[in-house]
Amino acid sequence: MSMNIRIRRGFTDGPHGQIHYRRAGQGEPILLFHASPASSKQLEPLIAGLADRFDVIAPDTPGNGDSDAPILSDGRRPDMADYAANIVALMDGLDVATSHLYGSHTGAAIAAETAILAPGRVSSVVLDGVAAFSPEQQADYMAHYAPPHTPTLDGDYLIRAFMFCRDQYAFFPWYKRDAAHRRPLGLPHPQRLHEMVLDVLKAPETYPWSYHAAFKYPILDRIGLITCPVLGLIGASDPLGDDTRRALAKAAKGECRETPAFGLEGHGEAVAQLIKQFVGAMPA
């Protein structure tokens, strides 16, 4: 990260509690939505790469990181419309009239639904890895992918949370630990893994909610409702690459670009450059 970029942190009120965010730079606003199961900290390299051109705002998804969990009055679990409503509330709280949006994996679904919910407030959308699961995949992932890590007196939840985070880098899905499901990039730097584990442990029983909303989100039916330009990004070895191509083919104003794999040196800067090119090519 550039030493000239200072990332500040803050909170604003949403419809279901406080929303924590990171912010840096100045210029046109762009909101960044992280992948599950972590927080906006995972986006710090991208925040730094964009801050020379944009006012970059990266919230923690409600129920993840330091944002409050979205407890709904009717007792149901939140869906993508609820997460999108939180983003509109964040924009209101920070006096952001219009913004570009970027989302990674779960964050991509949040970005897509926000653009549909508030089309007059979204200038463009960048979807970095889009999930378009079959009914069979949805059922499997809902049952197994995001287990709660409820605290216990013997501390076994700590190692389970660690292995859950570690194995996401090695396999997809992470709980199918065999050669057929192995990912090619290997394990991350220990510090990156440590940060991911800490984020999960901040919200051990609510982090699954945004995963579940993303698993069920019908992106292939919804993406055609986005009226602004849409850029799809496909990271090297991203298991959602084919889904992203399928989804962007249904976008009214969509295109795809490839990027280095998430977590590799230079990934944040490469994605930042593609976003700047995409936004720069839009009509004034």
Which pLDDT score is estimated for 4? Answer: 76
pTM, to two decimals: 0.96
Q: Judge whether residue 143 has pLDDT over 90.
A: yes
Across the range 147-172, mean pLDDT stands at: 97
**Distance of CA 207 to CAs 107, 109, 210, Å?**
13, 15, 6
Share of the chain above pLDDT 70, in %: 99
In the structure, what pLDDT confidence band is assigned to residue 283 with cuts at 50, 70 and 90?
A: confident
Rounded CA gap, 52 and 193, in Å? 28
- Model pLDDT, residue 13: 94
Q: Are 109 and 217 in contact (CB under 8 A)?
A: yes
Domain boundaries, the chain: 8-133+216-280
- Give phi and psi for 135, each to the nearest 5: -55, -35
Query: pLDDT band at residue 1, thresholds of 50, 70 and 90?
Result: very low
Distance CA 274, CA 95 (A): 27
Nearest-angstrom CA–CA distance, 97 and 110: 18
| Mean pLDDT (whole number) for 173-190 | 94
Confidence class of residue 266 from pLDDT cuts 50, 70 and 90? confident
Mean pLDDT of 137-155: 98
Residue 92: partners with Cβ closer than 8 Å, 6 or more residues away: none
Give the pLDDT of residue 245: 97
What is the residue type of 40?
S
For 8-133+216-280, give the CATH class.
Answer: alpha beta
Mean pLDDT of 265-272: 92
Q: How confident is the model at residue 264 (pLDDT cuts 50, 70, 90)?
A: confident
Query: Could you report the per-residue pLDDT of 50-78, keeping only the tens digit for each?
Result: 999 999 999 999 999 999 999 998 999 99
84 with 114: CB under 8 angstroms?
yes
Average pLDDT over residues 79-100: 97
- Confidence (pLDDT) at 277: 97
On the question of pLDDT at 192 being above 60, the answer is yes
What is the mean pLDDT of the segment spanning 205-218? 98
Q: What is the pLDDT of residues 195-205, one digit of tens each?
A: 999 999 999 99
**Any idea which residue has 């499901």 for tokens?**
181
The two tokens of residue 166 are 């570690």
Q: Within 10 A of 9 (CB to CB), how many other CB atoms are there?
A: 13
The string of DSSP letters for 158-211 reads: HHHHHHHHHHHHHBSSTT--SGGGB-SS----HHHHHHHHHHHHHSTTTHHHHH
Statement: residue 85 has pLDDT above 80: yes
Q: Do residues 247 and 219 lie in contact, with contact meaning Cβ atoms separated by under 8 Å? A: yes
Which residue in this structure is represented by tokens 């007196």? 153
